[in-house]
């Protein structure tokens, strides 16, 4: 027998949770819910960290948390702050009692951990944040900077070195500074002494009067996140979730987000509006027992080594298909988060991420590190990333380590600093029928990929990684099969449409130091074009074992690609179609996203048939084929628009033709 519990802002936690006598808090309903039950939350604002008490028992016996049909339900990790006192001009002050925070005060917690990057002498940022009418502010280094804030009109991207303009410089005037349990401070001759355990916050509100506006501060680490592991089969549907003081989430640490399963199986997170996580919004990632920031805490080994150890530690605590992963994240809108829209290491295996709209991730650039992206996953084993719209992010999709059985299909990425980065992985991974329209489209520090039917309107950057051996796995398993470094190559390029762009436009002053960043596949020039040729090059090396393989490039399989507007083919590709001119761009019009193309008549002579995994040569290092999760050959027969491909134009849209065209893609 299943039960439906109701929660309403007019309810009472002393009630019985019926529609007539609803609970007041979602946590009260969570304490009552068992496998098969549903918690229906009615319209209003709930300021709590929902901590599920139990999980479901199977996909058919879930615990479901959902907003009542047609009702707007907001769950926030923030509290409202009132009674602001004007200190001088646009600067106001408020003191927040310690009991508002409890044991966790985000204004006292630094953004820190493995792979965070602060410039020498730069002040540390904190997990706290201040929101004026829903818009977050910027932390400054001292009280004086609140009065005279440093007005940022541009910043430098920490990875590419490109100077990035700030679209709304006035937004940077909402700045704040906080002191937690500090002694007296003096400004303009007035002494301010916070109460014991209290936090004093100074904010420059510009022309706004905070006593007549909505001002909030984040006080809770998460909004919907269990404290225990293995609470499986939970659905979270239809909420607005916001304002979490979630910490920095590298792959060598615990990875709590605004929402997430916390090391479990079978969650469904769907149809939610998720925003303003200090670091990461949705986490399907690692837990602390397999390592927690040991590289930065101990300083005795590199983070790379601790990350290797975490893979084996996870296997020892049951990291496998039966216990972890298989989550479904779909139809969510995720935006304005400091680090990631979706993050995970180990815990996201066998999951599907589809139909999400992700934007404004890490674009405030308050802090920087090497674990940032709209989607940032390590060990994305058999993960499908399908039909997502990702734009205006520091990095769109970053797949790092153990990208195996992974599929990136039918996504639209544009206006990102970089669209897709695949790092130190051995494949097989499949990238098909996507639009990559940012100036820096693909960065491949990996091998074993297959790229079929994509539009690539930016650069392709290639780089070998000979100093980091990373794991590969038995097909469709978390069981480690071996380790290898990244030679580069062993990639497949079939039926893609490339549109040229100047690498300097993608990387700015860093363009000279980014390796082979080109428009097209010419970065593979000099690689063998078949496995037989690769074996011949090995045979020509001096006798021995592993040293014979060092420096020998792996084969690249290329055919049926189209190169426009100066994009150049791999010098061993047979019969590439090189077009005189051509253009492609992604544009927005109202709620629609369109691909605008202008291609010469020669384009109509190129064709791409539907493919399967049998058409793609086997991956060398992992010794694996391109397969569906059930082990059958991968099916590559649906274009970006959802049309079934038999034969059609190269690129993501089978019906695309020459001349000027506009195609709705979202």
**Model confidence over 458-469: pLDDT tens digits?**
999 999 999 999
The residues spanned by each domain of the chain are 4-73, 79-218, 385-579+605-641
Q: Which CATH superfamily is domain 385-579+605-641 in?
A: Single-stranded right-handed beta-helix, Pectin lyase-like (2.160.20.10)
Q: Average pLDDT of the chain?
A: 94
pLDDT at 359: 98
CA distances from 451 to 207, 319, 480, 622, 625 (A): 52, 29, 25, 18, 14
**Model confidence over 566-611: pLDDT tens digits?**
999 999 999 999 999 999 999 999 999 999 999 999 999 999 999 9
Residues near 128 by beta carbon (within 8 Å), at least 6 away in sequence:
105, 106, 107, 109, 139, 178, 217, 218, 245, 278
pLDDT at 160: 61
pLDDT at 1: 80
Contact 652, 640 (CB under 8 A): yes
Q: Which two tokens stand for residue 605?
A: 């002579």
pLDDT at 511: 56
**Model confidence over 483-541: pLDDT tens digits?**
999 999 999 999 999 999 888 878 776 555 555 689 999 999 999 999 999 999 999 99
Residues near 494 by beta carbon (within 8 Å), at least 6 away in sequence:
450, 451, 452, 453, 557, 558, 559, 560, 561, 608, 611, 615, 616
CATH, domain 79-218, list 2.60.40.1180, 3.50.50.60, 1.10.3720.10, 3.30.200.20:
2.60.40.1180
Three-class DSSP category at 538: helix
Q: From CA 450, how far away is CA 459, in angstroms rounded?
A: 17
Q: From CA 432, how far away is CA 450, in angstroms rounded?
A: 8
Confidence check: pLDDT of 187 > 50: no
């Amino acid at each position: 027998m299943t039960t439906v519990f109701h929660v309403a802002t007019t309810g009472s936690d002393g009630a019985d949770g019926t529609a007539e006598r609803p609970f007041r808090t979602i946590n009260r309903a969570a304490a009552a819910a068992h496998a098969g039950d549903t918690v229906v939350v009615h319209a209003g604002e709930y300021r709590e960290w929902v901590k599920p008490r139990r999980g479901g028992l199977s996909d058919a016996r879930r615990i479901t948390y959902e907003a009542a049909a047609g009702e707007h339900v907001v769950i926030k990790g923030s509290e409202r702050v009132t009674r602001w006192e004007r200190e001088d001009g646009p600067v106001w002050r408020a003191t927040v009692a310690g009991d508002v925070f409890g044991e966790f005060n985000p204004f006292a917690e630094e953004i820190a951990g493995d792979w965070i990057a602060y410039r020498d002498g730069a002040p540390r940022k904190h997990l706290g944040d201040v929101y004026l009418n829903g818009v977050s502010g910027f932390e400054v280094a001292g009280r004086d900077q609140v009065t005279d804030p440093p007005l940022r009109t541009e910043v430098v991207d920490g990875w590419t070195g490109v100077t990035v303009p700030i679209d709304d410089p006035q937004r940077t005037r909402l700045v704040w500074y906080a002191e937690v349990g500090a002694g007296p401070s003096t400004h303009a001759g007035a002494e301010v002494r916070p109460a014991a355990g209290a936090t004093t916050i100074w904010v420059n509100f510009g022309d706004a009067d905070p006593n007549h506006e909505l001002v909030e501060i984040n006080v809770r680490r998460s909004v919907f996140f269990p404290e225990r592991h293995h609470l499986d089969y939970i659905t979270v549907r239809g909420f607005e979730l916001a304002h979490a003081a979630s910490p920095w989430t590298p792959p060598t640490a615990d990875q709590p987000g605004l929402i997430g399963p916390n090391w479990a199986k079978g969650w469904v997170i769907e149809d939610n509006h998720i925003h303003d996580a200090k670091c990461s919004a949705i986490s399907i990632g690692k837990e602390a027992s397999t390592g927690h920031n040991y590289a930065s805490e101990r300083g005795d080994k590199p983070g790379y080594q601790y990350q290797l150890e975490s893979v084996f530690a996870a296997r020892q605590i049951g990291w496998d298909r039966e216990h972890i992963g298989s989550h479904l994240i779909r139809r969510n809108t995720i935006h304005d988060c400091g680090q990631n829209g979706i993050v995970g290491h180990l815990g996201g295996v066998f999951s599907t991420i589809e139909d999400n709209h992700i934007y404004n991730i890490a674009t405030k650039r308050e802090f920087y590190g090497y674990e940032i992206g709209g989607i940032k996953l390590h060990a994305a084993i058999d993960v499908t990333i399908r039909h997502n719209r990702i734009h205006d992010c520091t990095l769109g999709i970053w797949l790092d380590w153990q990208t195996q059985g992974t599929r990136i299909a039918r996504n639209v990425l544009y206006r990102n600093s970089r669209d897709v980065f695949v790092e130190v992985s051995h494949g097989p991974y499949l990238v098909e029928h996507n639009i990559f329209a940012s100036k820096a489209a693909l960065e491949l520090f990996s091998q074993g990929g297959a790229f079929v039917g994509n539009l690539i309107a930016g650069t392709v950057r290639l780089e070998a990684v000979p100093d980091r051996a990373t794991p590969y796995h038995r097909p469709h398993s978390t069981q480690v099969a071996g380790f290898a470094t990244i030679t580069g190559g062993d990639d497949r390029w079939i039926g893609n449409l490339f549109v040229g762009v100047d690498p300097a436009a993608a990387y700015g002053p860093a363009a000279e130091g980014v390796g082979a960043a080109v428009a097209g596949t010419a970065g593979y020039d000099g690689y063998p074009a078949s496995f037989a040729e690769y074996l011949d090059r090995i045979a020509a090396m001096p006798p021995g074992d592993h040293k014979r393989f060092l420096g020998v490039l792996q084969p690249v399989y290329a055919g049926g690609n189209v190169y426009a507007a100066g994009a150049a083919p791999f010098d061993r590709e047979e019969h590439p179609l090189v077009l005189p001119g051509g253009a492609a761009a992604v544009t927005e019009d109202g709620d629609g996203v369109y691909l605008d193309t202008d291609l010469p008549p020669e384009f109509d002579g190129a064709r791409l048939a539907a493919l399967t995994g049998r058409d793609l040569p086997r991956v060398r290092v992992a010794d694996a084929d391109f397969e569906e999760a059930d082990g059958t050959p991968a099916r590559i027969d649906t274009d970006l628009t959802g049309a079934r491909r038999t034969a059609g134009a190269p690129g993501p849209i089978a019906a695309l033709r020459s001349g000027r065209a506009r195609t709705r893609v979202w």
